[in-house]
Structure 1
Amino acid sequence: MTKLFGTDGIRGLANTELGCELAIAVGRATAYTLSKKNEGEKVKILIGKDTRISSDMLESALAAGISSVGADVFLLGCIPTPAVAYLIKHYGADAGVVISASHNPAEYNGIKVFDSSGIKLSVDEEYKIEKQIENGDIENYIKSHTDVGQIKTLTNAEDDYVNFLTSCMPFSLDGIKIVVDCANGAAYNSSKRIFEKLKADVIYIANNPDGLNINKNVGSTHLDYLKEMVKKERADIGIAFDGDADRCLAVDENGEEIDGDKIIGIFAKYLKEKGKLHKDSVVITIYTNLGFIDYCKKNGIKPVRTAVGDRYVLEEMIKGNYSLGGEQSGHIILKDCSTTGDGQLTALMLLMILKQSGLKASELTSDIQKYPQVMINIPADAEQKIKFNSDDQIQAFINEKESDLFDSGRVVSRVSGTEPLIRIMVEGKDKTTIKAVAEEIRDKILERI
C-alpha cells in the first residue's frame, strides 16, 4: 500500500506530489473515517493554512473532499499549526487539518491532521485513511443533494488563539527589546497582536508574506539575518519562528544561537525550581546534544529519550505524565498548556523567564555547554531511502565508526520523514574528528545507494 503520511503528515511538491486530487481524497477519507468513529453523527472539521501560494488551492480541494461526504468544514484562514490544535478543543470540533509544509521552501506543501483532542493522528489512524484512499471505495460514500456538508469561515479564530496565548502568559514585556522573525509564515499577523498586547518593544522582520517567500533565508532554519538585526538594533533577544510557527529558536544579545536544547534546558531548570516539572524529567530526542545530558545531571533533571519527531515526544509525555519535552529544532511542548509544539507559546515562556530573572539572554544559557555536532544531509528519493534502511553494509560501517569514537561521541543516522533526505549526525568532543567521521559515513552511503 502507498505510504502517504510521514513523521509530520503528508508532505510533497505542491500540485505534483501533493495536488488537488490527493487533497480531495484525503479530505474524503478523513471525514468518512471520523464519521464511522462517530457512528454516523455529523462531523465538524477545522482547516487552517500557512502563507504558501498553493495553500488556498489545497484548502479548496480539502474542503470540497470533506463536505462531499457530508461533513461540515470551518475555515480558519492563515493561522499557525498550534492554533488549529487549540481551536479544535475550544470549538468542540471532531478534527482539524493544517495545510503547511512547516520549515520547507514555498514549492512544498503538506497536510497534517489532528484529532478531537488536538493531537496528531496516531499511525493506526493514518493507516486507516491511507487504506480508504488506496481501496478507492470512498467514492461509494459521497453524499448528494442536500446531504453534503457546509463550508463556513470563522472570522474570530485568530482572536481566540491570541487571547488563549496571552492568558497562558499574563505578564508585561515592557522594557524588553525584541527582534521577531516571522519567516513570512503563518505567525506574521498573530505575533504582532500578541507582542503589542504585552507591550513589547519589537522590530519585526520577514513578516510580509507574498506566497513565495515563506522560510526563504529567514525563520528558525536560517538565523543569519536575525543575528545581524539583533546586534544592529542592540536588542535584548531575537525570536525566530518557522513557516507554520510550531517551532521557535532564539538569538541572544550577542547574536549567538539559542537552540531547542538550550531553550528546553532553561525551561526545565525554571519549572523544577517552581515545582512544576513533573517527575523532575524532560522528554528529548536522540538528536539532543550530550552537553544537555551533562546539564541535566548537574541540575537533578532526568532526561527521557525518544525517536525524532514531536509526535513521539508527545506520546512519551502522555505515557509518562511529563510536562516538558521537545527537540533541538525548536519543537517544544509545554503539555500543561498545549498538545503540540507552539512557537509563540515557547517564545512567551522564554521571554517571561528572561524578564523575571533580570539576566541577559546569554547568561540564561551560560551553564549549558554543548558538544560539537556535525550534520550532513544526503539527497535521497524513496527508493534510495529503502536501500539505506535495508543495507547491512551501511549499518555495519556506521557501527564501526561509532565504536571508533569510544565513549567520547556518537552517530545518529536516519531517513527524514518530511524531506527527501538521509540525515547523518555525528557528535563528540573533537570537531575535526567528528567531521572526518561524518564525511566517511556520507561517502559510504552514497557508494551504496
Structure 2
Amino acid sequence: EGFEGKVLVIGGDGRYYNDVVIQKAIRIASANGFGTVLVGQNGLLSTPAASNVIRHYKAFGGIVLSASHNPGGPEGDFGIKYNVGNGGPAPEKITEAVFARSQVIDRYLTVDAPDVDLSRIGTHHSAGMVVEVIDPVADYAALMEKLFDFPKLRQLFAAGFRMRFDAMHAITGPYAHRILEDMLGAPMGTVINGTPSPDFGGGHPDPNLVYAKDLYDLMMSPDGPDFGAASDGDGDRNLIIGKGRFVTPSDSLAMLAARRQSVDEIVREHWATYGRNYYTRHDYDEVDTAAANALMDALRARLPSLKGESFDGHDVVLADDFAYTDPIDGSVSSKQGIRIGFKDGSRIVFRLSGTGTVGATLRVYLERYEPPHGQHDLDTQAALAPLIILAEKLAGIAERTGRAAPSVIT
C-alpha cells in the first residue's frame, strides 16, 4: 500500500534469469500503479548501488535480484531481495508480511506490454508507466568520490602502486573498471573477471581462500602486487589481501586507511599496538535442513544452563540467541545467531544461512584475542584449535549432520 505513483528501483547481479524476471517485475509494477521504475542498464545494479539509488532518488523501495555468493546458471541459485525506502534490507515485519501474503494470494496483476530495451539508457514506457534505464555505476561512483579522497588515491596509483581486483565474473566488474581504472588511473588489467556473466564464468562468486585461491596465490608470490581484493556476487562482501598478508574480517579495515606502508607493515603495527583477533568461519554447505534445525534447537535448549559452565578451561560468561532491534522502526529480528562467549574474550557463534536453495548452510564463527605482547604469527586454524574442538563438543556437528569437516574454511 502507498506506492501509487511512487518510484521503484530494480536491478540485480546479472545472474541467469535476471533479465526475464526484471521484465516481469516491470509489467507487474506498471499494473499495480507505480509511477516510475528505475532499472540499471542491462538490468545490473550491485546491492550497495541499489541502496544508494533508492536513497538518492527517494524511491519507495527496490527489488534486488541476487542469490548473493551462491553460484548462478541454469542449475544455480536465484534470489529476490527487497530493500525499503531507507535503502536497507526489508525488516523482519515486512518479510513476515510478504510470507503471510504468499500463503493466500490467488492472483497477480500484470500488463500486456513489450519488453523494455534495457541496453539503452534513457526514458522508456511500459503501458504508460515511465521506465528510466540508468547508468548503474554513475550515482555510486559519485558517492564514492564524496566519501574518499580521490586525488590522493590517483597520486598513489601514479606513484606505481599496484593492485589486483577480482570481480569473479559478478556485478562489481563494471564498478571496478569505472572507479579504479577510469577515475583513479589504475593500469588497465588491474580488474580481472570484470564482465558479469549469467553463470559467473562457471565459478562460485564467494570471495574466500577457496574460490579466490588464484588471487591469494598471486598475492603471496614474490612478484605479486601491493594490494588485492575480491567481492561476492552482489557486491556487498569483500576479501582483502595484502602482499604476503591475508587480512581477516576481524582486523578492522580502518587500519588500511591511506598510509604509505604495505599492508603487512600496517597489520603488524596494528597487532603490536592493539593485539590480534584470530578469526575463522567454518561453513557446512547443503546440510539437511531438518538436521541443521535440530542442531540449532538443541543448542537453544542448552542456553539457560551454559552460563557458568566450564569446558576445558573455557569459562562460559555469555550464552544467548542474538536478536537485533532496529533503531529506526523498533522492529526485532530474532534468532540471528547463537552466541557463546568465554571469560578470556573468545567466542563461538552458530548461525544458519538462508541464502542457498539446497538444504541449509551452517556457519560457525570462532574468534579469540591475542594481546599485543602475544604470538601473532600462528596458523589461524592452529591458534583456534581448542575452540574448534569445543564447538564440535557443544553442537555435535559431525553426529547431527554427518559432516566430518566443513565445506569451506575462511
Q: If the length of structure 1 is used for normalisation, what is the TM-score?
A: 0.63
Give the Å deviation of 1:132: 2.5
Are the counterparts in 2 of residues 183 and 216 from structure 1 also a CA contact under 8 Å? Answer: yes
Q: Distance in 2 between matches of 1:214 and 1:396?
A: 44
Are the counterparts in 2 of residues 46 and 97 from structure 1 also a CA contact under 8 Å? Answer: yes
1:332-390 deviation line (CA, Å, top 9, x unaligned): xxxxxxxxxxxxxxxxxx5xx2xx32111112222332335462525334433432333
Structure (1/2) with the larger strand percentage: 2
- Alignment partner, residue 220 of structure 1: 207
1:102-123 deviation line (CA, Å, top 9, x unaligned): 1111111211111122121111
Structure-2 change in CA distance of 1:436 and 1:56 (3 Å): same
- Alignment partner, residue 323 of structure 2: none
Q: Larger deviation: 180-189 or 221-230?
A: 221-230
Provide the alpha-carbon RMSD of the alignment.
3.3
Structure-2 change in CA distance of 1:220 and 1:402 (3 Å): farther
Are the counterparts in 1 of residues 348 and 387 from structure 2 also a CA contact under 8 Å? Answer: no
> Structure 1 residue 361 and structure 2 residue 274: aligned?
no
- Alignment partner, residue 418 of structure 1: 355
Structure-2 change in CA distance of 1:218 and 1:42 (3 Å): closer
- Alignment partner, residue 113 of structure 1: 82
1:167-224 deviation line (CA, Å, top 9, x unaligned): 3223224222100111111111121110121122452222233311268256523331
**2:277 partner SS:** coil
Q: Distance in 2 between matches of 1:375 and 1:437?
A: 13
Structure-2 change in CA distance of 1:423 and 1:156 (3 Å): closer
Q: Larger deviation: 206-215 or 240-249?
A: 206-215
- Alignment partner, residue 234 of structure 1: 224
Structure-2 change in CA distance of 1:399 and 1:104 (3 Å): farther
Amino acid at match of 1:193: R
Alignment of 1:249-398 (within 5 A): 249-254=239-244, 256-262=245-251, 265-267=252-254, 350=256, 353=257, 356-366=258-268, 367-368=270-271, 369-371=276-278, 373=280, 375-377=282-284, 379-391=286-298, 395=302
Give the Å deviation of 1:445: 2.8
Are the counterparts in 1 of residues 284 and 363 from structure 2 also a CA contact under 8 Å? Answer: yes
**2:311 partner SS:** helix
Q: Distance in 1 between matches of 2:112 and 2:14?
A: 33
Q: Distance in 1 between matches of 2:138 and 2:218?
A: 29
- Alignment partner, residue 200 of structure 1: 186
Give the Å deviation of 1:147: 11
> Structure 1 residue 55 and structure 2 residue 8: aligned?
no
**1:257 partner SS:** strand
Structure-2 change in CA distance of 1:392 and 1:163 (3 Å): closer
Give the Å deviation of 1:244: 1.0
- Alignment partner, residue 403 of structure 1: 311
Structure-2 change in CA distance of 1:194 and 1:215 (3 Å): farther
Q: Distance in 2 between matches of 1:216 and 1:364?
A: 32
Amino acid at match of 2:64: V
Give the Å deviation of 1:402: 7.0
Q: Larger deviation: 103-112 or 146-155?
A: 146-155
Q: How many residues align?
A: 322
Structure-2 change in CA distance of 1:442 and 1:426 (3 Å): farther
Q: Distance in 2 between matches of 1:89 and 1:385?
A: 37
Question: Which one of 79, 84, 95 corresponds to residue 45 of structure 2?
Answer: 79
Q: Distance in 1 between matches of 2:226 and 2:305?
A: 42
Structure-2 change in CA distance of 1:129 and 1:363 (3 Å): same
Are the counterparts in 2 of residues 70 and 147 from structure 1 also a CA contact under 8 Å? Answer: no
Q: Larger deviation: 423-432 or 86-95?
A: 423-432
Give the Å deviation of 1:251: 0.5
> Structure 1 residue 67 and structure 2 residue 4: aligned?
no
Q: Distance in 2 between matches of 1:151 and 1:247?
A: 33
Q: If the length of structure 2 is used for normalisation, what is the TM-score?
A: 0.68
Q: Distance in 2 between matches of 1:397 and 1:423?
A: 22
Give the Å deviation of 1:397: 12
**1:48 partner SS:** strand
**1:121 partner SS:** coil
Question: Which one of 127, 143, 161 corresponds to residue 164 of structure 1?
Answer: 143
Amino acid at match of 2:10: I
- Alignment partner, residue 99 of structure 1: 65
- Alignment partner, residue 129 of structure 2: 150
Are the counterparts in 2 of residues 374 and 435 from structure 1 also a CA contact under 8 Å? Answer: no
Structure-2 change in CA distance of 1:123 and 1:396 (3 Å): closer
Structure-2 change in CA distance of 1:160 and 1:431 (3 Å): closer
Structure (1/2) with the larger helix percentage: 1
> Structure 1 residue 211 and structure 2 residue 176: aligned?
no
Structure-2 change in CA distance of 1:147 and 1:182 (3 Å): closer
Question: Which one of 124, 143, 153 corresponds to residue 93 of structure 2?
Answer: 124
Q: Distance in 2 between matches of 1:37 and 1:437?
A: 51
- Structure of higher CA gyration radius: 2
Give the Å deviation of 1:403: 3.2
